[in-house]
Chains A and B, each alone.
Chain A
Amino acid sequence: MSRQEKARGSRMKMIGVGDAGGQVVEHILRAGWLPGVEGVVFNTDAVGLGRMQLGERLALGRSLTRGLGTGGDMELGRRAAVHDADEVKAVVADVALVFLMVGLGGGTGGGAGPEIARMARDCGAMVLGMATLPFSFEGERRRQQAAQQLEMLRQHADAVVVIPNDKLLKLVGDDATALEAFRKCDEVMAIGARAVWQLLARPALIHLDFAALRNALGGQHGEGVVVFGEATGADRATQAVEALLANPLMENGQILGRSERVLVSVCGGKDLTLGEVQKCASAVKRIAPRAQIELGAAVDEDYGKKLSVTIVASTAVPARKPTPVPVPVAVTTGEAQPTVRPAERSAAGTVPGAAAREVSAKSRPKQGELPLEKRSSGRFENSEPTLWEGENLDVPTYVRKGVALTG
C-alpha cells in the first residue's frame, strides 16, 4: 500500500515538538477540532512538558539535557531526538499522516523537529509540517537559526506550511501581551491543521488527494498564511468569504493577489451545496488571479448549518537545490551521532562526538542565501524596478521560477 493510500481514512497523529508545537497541539485538543487525531507532545524541557495537560507527553533526550531544555541549541535538540529515536518511532509507527507542529528558531522544535519528520517518513507516514518563524523581536540569531531549520524541515517533510509570526502581529494589535501574541500563533496553526484534516478525513464533496494538497502547500516551498472564515444563514457562502477577507492577515486581499498557490477548503454540514462551494471558489479566484487554486470541499455532520472556508495561501519562494542536510550515517540509539551542518560541511567530514559539539557551538549559523533573504536584482538594484503584474522582472527569471541550477 502506498503512503498516500494509507493516508486516507487511517491513523493520523499530530505531533508537537518543543514548547510552541506543544501549545498548538494542546490548543487543538482542547478545542476538540480534530476528533480521532491523537496528539503527542515531545519536549526536552521537563517543566514545559509538565505544563501540558492533554495528549501523550514524552520527554526527549533526558540523559542529554537532564530535562532542562536545550537553551536554544538546535544541535542539542537534534541529538536528543536521535537519542530517543526508539520512542519517536514507536509513536509514528503505523501512522498514515503526521501533522508536525513546530516553532522554529529554538533548540527543540527546530532541532528535533526535522529529525522527527525524517523518522516519521522513514516509518512510512506522510508528514505535513506546520512551522512558525520567530517574531523579529526575538532577535537576529533566532531568525537565522529558524531559516536554517526551515530548510532542514523541508528536506524531510512532505509539505510545510510556514507562518511568519510577524504577520500575526497585525491580528493582535500593538498593545497585545506577548502571551496573547503566542496564543494567536497557536490558533492560526490549529486552524491550518484543521483545514487540511477536514479535507483528508471528512467525506469529500470535492476530493483533494494528498498530492494536490502537497502541491498547494508549497511544491515551490512557500511562505504562507492561513485564514479562516465562517458563517451561517441564507447567504452563508458569501458571508464566510467576506469574513475571511476581513481578517487582517489578508491585507485586504492583497496576500491573495501575490499568492502563487491557494488551497481553498470549504466545509459545511450535510446541506452543503455545490453552488456554495463554487461561490467560495470563484470569490477566491477573482481576488487571486495568478494563483493556482486547489479546491476541496468536505462534509462534516457536526457543522449543522454552518459553513466555513479556510484558505492556505502560499507565496512562492524559490526552491533551493537540495543542500546536503545532516542525515546521520547510521542511527543507533543510545549514542549521539555527530552530524555536519551545511555551514561546515566543507570543513568536516565526520567529527568524533565531543569535537562535533565544540565545532557546532563555535560556528555561527551562516545562511546568507536562504530564500527568506531579499532577492537580489544585481545591477538593477538602484534603478526603478520593472514591475509586471506584481512581479519584479529585474530579479533573474530562474530565481523567480524557482529553477534549480544544477549541472
Chain B
Amino acid sequence: MGLFAREQIVVGLEVGTTKVCVVVAEVLENHELMIIGSALAPSRGVRKGEIVEMEAAVQSVQEAITRAEDETGVEIHTVYAAVTGGHIRSFNNRGNVVVTRDDGEIGTQDINNVLLNAKAVSIPVDHAIIHAIRQRFFVDGQDGIQNPVGMFGTKLEADVHVIHGLRTRLHNTLRCIRQVPLEIKSIVVSSFASALAVLTPENQQEGALVIDMGGGVTDYILFREGIVEHSGVLAVGGDHVTNDIALGLKVPINRAERLKVEHGSVLMPDTEEIIRYKREVGLPELELSRRQLCRIMNLRIEETLTLIRQDVQKRGFLDYLGAGVFLTGGCARTAGIQKLAEGVFGCPVTLAYSRVAPGTGTVMESPEYSTAVGLVRYAVSSQRDVAPMGGWSTRWNRMWQTAWDRIRTFF
C-alpha cells in the first residue's frame, strides 16, 4: 500500500464487552467518508466495557482486525479507539483569560489560552482527561458566542465539557490494542463516537440524547444547540439483562441469552405464553413463563433508562430534547424498547442506526456499529483540521469554518 493511500484510510476500533468491532473507511477528496469494510469478532476478556483478561482480549482484537483486513484488502496499522467504562466521569468547567492584545482584538492565541485554562481543572490524581469538548465562549460576559476571533473585549471565557477516567483502566484498553500491535491515533469516549454516528448536525442543534446500550455498559451523551452539554457512563448493559434472566428463571447464562434474544421483550405480553425448550438428552423439557421473562427484562431496562433520565433531569436538560432520544447499541434491538423509552423520557425515541455516507452496505445499519462508525467520523473531522500544513494557527483558523468545530475535541 502506497503512502498516499494510507493517509486516506481511517480505521475505527471498538473493543466492546460482547464484540470487537472494526470499521474501515476511506476519506475522499472533499472530506466525505466512504466506508469500505467492517468486521466483527466475539469479544473475550472484557467485562463492563473494560479489559479484565489481557491475553484473551488481544486475541479478540487480532481476530477482528484480521477479518477487516481480509475484507477490505487494507493493511491496518493505525486505529482510532473507543474507550468506556464505569469509571468515566464528566463535568462542565469554565476557563477565563485576559485578552493579550492591547487593542482588545481577540486572536487565536487567546482562544488557545482560554481553552488551556478551562482544561486546567482539578480531577482526582489517578484520573486523566480524555476530552475537553468546547462548548461556548463569553466575551466580557456576553454569552452564546461560537467564534470570538476578531471580536473586541478584555475578558474571554470558555466553557468546556471535561470527560475524564481512571488512568490505569484507560491504559489497559490502550495496552491491549498496542499489543496487537496497532498504533493508536486517538482515543474517543464511546458515547461521543456513537453520537457522531447517529446524529445529524440538525439533531445536535435541536437537542438530542444519545443512549448507546451495549453489552456491558450504557453510554449516554446530550447535545443542545450543537454543544455537548452532558455525558455519562452507566456500567449496566445487555449482560445485566441476561444475568437477571439467568438468576430469575434459574437457567444457565447462555440459555438466558438465547431466551432474551428469541423470546424477550421489555413490554409485558397481554396473555401468558409458555416457552418450552429442550434440554440435554435425558432431562425433561423445561417450561418457562414468557411473562416472567418479560417482567425481568422490563424492570432492568426501565430502571436503566430511568437512571439516565434522572441524571439528565437533575441537570435540567430534559426539556431541551427537541430531536428526542436516540437509542443505539446492541440493546436497541430489544423488542419494545422504543415504546418503553418513550414512556420513560416522554419524548420521541428513535432507534438510531449509523448515518453512513456512500459505499455502505446494509450491515452498517445495525445499531452495534454506531460507535465504530462514529470513530471514523471523528477521524475525518479531526483530519480535516490537521491535513493542510498542520500548523497550530492554520489549524485553529480552519476550525471556525465548519459545523463540526463546535464539538471538536482537544487533547
Contacts and interface: CB of A to CB of B under 8 A. Distances in A.
Given A379-B253, A388-B307, A396 B296 contact: yes
Contacts of B363: none
Contacts of B300: 396-398
Interface in B192-235: 234-235
Nearest to B237: A386
Interface in B278-303: 289, 291-292, 295-296, 299-300, 303
Contacts of A394: 240, 243
A388 B303 CA distance: 12
Contact of B291 (A399, A401, A407): A407
A397 B244 CA distance: 7
A167 B272 CA distance: 45
Interface string A381-396: 0011010100001101
B236 interface: yes
A404 to B, nearest CB: 10
Nearest to B299: A397
B144 interface: no
B248 interface: yes
A386 B303 CA distance: 14
A193 to B, nearest CB: 36
B86 interface: yes
A330 interface: no
Nearest to A376: B247
B247 A393 contact: no
Contact of A407 (B52, B235, B239, B292): B292
Given A396-B243, A397-B300, A405 B234 contact: no
A393 B244 CA distance: 11
Contacts of A377: 243
A397 B306 CA distance: 12
B86 A379 contact: no
Nearest to B307: A388
Given A386-B235, A394-B240, A407 B48 contact: no
A383 B248 contact: no
Contacts of B246: 378-379
Nearest to A406: B292
B47 interface: yes
Q: Which 6 A-B pairs have the closest CB atoms?
A: A396-B244, A386-B235, A397-B299, A378-B243, A397-B300, A407-B289
13 contacts: A376-B247, A379-B239, A380-B47, A383-B52, A384-B48, A388-B234, A393-B240, A393-B303, A397-B303, A398-B296, A401-B299, A401-B303, A405-B295
Contacts of A90: none
A241 B247 CA distance: 42
Interface residues of A, number: 19
Nearest to B302: A397
Contacts of A396: 240, 243-244, 247-248, 296, 299-300
Contacts of B244: 378, 396-398
Contact of B86 (A384, A397, A399, A403): A384
Interface of B: 47-48, 52, 86, 234-236, 239-240, 243-244, 246-248, 253, 272, 289, 291-292, 295-296, 299-300, 303, 307
Interface in A344-402: 376-380, 383-384, 386, 388, 393-394, 396-399, 401
Nearest to A393: B236
Nearest to A388: B307
Interface string A120-158: 000000000000000000000000000000000000000
B234 A386 contact: yes
B144 to A, nearest CB: 34
A386 B17 CA distance: 15
A264 B272 CA distance: 43
A361 B233 CA distance: 53
Contacts of A401: 299, 303
Given A394-B240, A398-B299, A405-B292, 14 more contacts: A378-B247, A378-B253, A380-B48, A386-B234, A386-B236, A388-B234, A393-B235, A393-B303, A394-B243, A396-B243, A396-B248, A398-B295, A398-B300, A407-B272
Grouping DSSP codes into helix (H, G, I), strand (E, B) and loop, the A interface class, with mixed when no group exceeds half, is loop
A401 B306 CA distance: 14
B257 to A, nearest CB: 11
A72 to B, nearest CB: 33
B234 A379 contact: no
Contacts of A397: 244, 296, 299-300, 303
Contact of B48 (A376, A383, A403): A383
Contacts of B240: 380, 393-394, 396
B275 to A, nearest CB: 12
Interface string A223-257: 00000000000000000000000000000000000
A329 B228 CA distance: 66
A274 B93 CA distance: 42
B219 to A, nearest CB: 14
B28 to A, nearest CB: 42
Contact of B299 (A379, A403, A407): A403
B252 to A, nearest CB: 11
A327 B47 CA distance: 47
A380 B295 contact: no
B197 to A, nearest CB: 25
A101 to B, nearest CB: 36
A403 to B, nearest CB: 6
A399 B300 CA distance: 10
B338 to A, nearest CB: 20
A386 B300 CA distance: 14
A166 to B, nearest CB: 27
A398 B236 CA distance: 15
A402 B369 CA distance: 36
Contacts of B247: 376, 378, 396, 399
A394 B292 CA distance: 19
Contacts of B253: 378-379
B248 A380 contact: no
A369 to B, nearest CB: 11
B243 A380 contact: yes
A397 B292 CA distance: 13
A376 B236 CA distance: 16
Nearest to B86: A386
